[in-house]
Amino acid sequence: MCTTNEMEDPVAIEALNLFPENTVENLTSGLLSVLEPEISRVLQSVNELTANQEEMLTSMSDKISQFDESALSKDIQSTLQQAPAYKQKLSNLSKKMVSLNKRVKRLQSRAGKLREVRVARDKQRKKDFEIKIQEEKLLEAKPPK
C-alpha cells in the first residue's frame, strides 16, 4: 500500500504505471464502449420501472380512495335508510311519554281528591267521636231519677 506522500510523489506514480499511457487509455475506452450501452440500457430500464411503480402507486391510491368513498357512501346510505324507522320510534316514544304524563296528572289529581276525602272523613270521625264523648259525659252527669 502506498502512503499519502508516495501518492503525491511523481516518481512513485510513474513506478505504479506498469503499462504505457496510451494502452491504459485504449483499454479504458474499449471497456467503456463495451459496457456503456449495457449501462445505458439498465439505467433506462430502472427509469421505466420507477415510472411504472409511480403509476401503479398512484393507481392504487386512487382505487383505495374510491373504495373508502364507496364504503363511506354505503355507510351514509344505510344510515339514511334507517332514519325513518328511528323517526317513527321517536314519535312513538313521544306519544307514550305524553300518555304517561296525562296518566300521572290524572293519578295525582285523584290522589289529591282521595286525600281531601280522607282528611274530611277523619275530621268527621273526630267530630263524631267528640260528640259521642260529650253525650256520654252528659249522660253520666245526670243523676238517675
pLDDT of residue 17: 64
Q: How do residues 10-46 score in pLDDT, each as one tens digit?
A: 655 565 667 777 888 888 888 888 888 888 999 999 9
pLDDT of residue 13: 57
Q: How do residues 66-115 score in pLDDT, each as one tens digit?
A: 888 887 888 888 888 999 999 999 999 999 999 999 999 999 999 999 99
Please identify which residue in the block is written with the cell numbers 339514511. 80
C-alpha cell at 66: 374510491
pLDDT bracket for residue 63 (50, 70, 90): confident
**Domain coordinates in residue numbering, the chain:** 15-83, 103-145
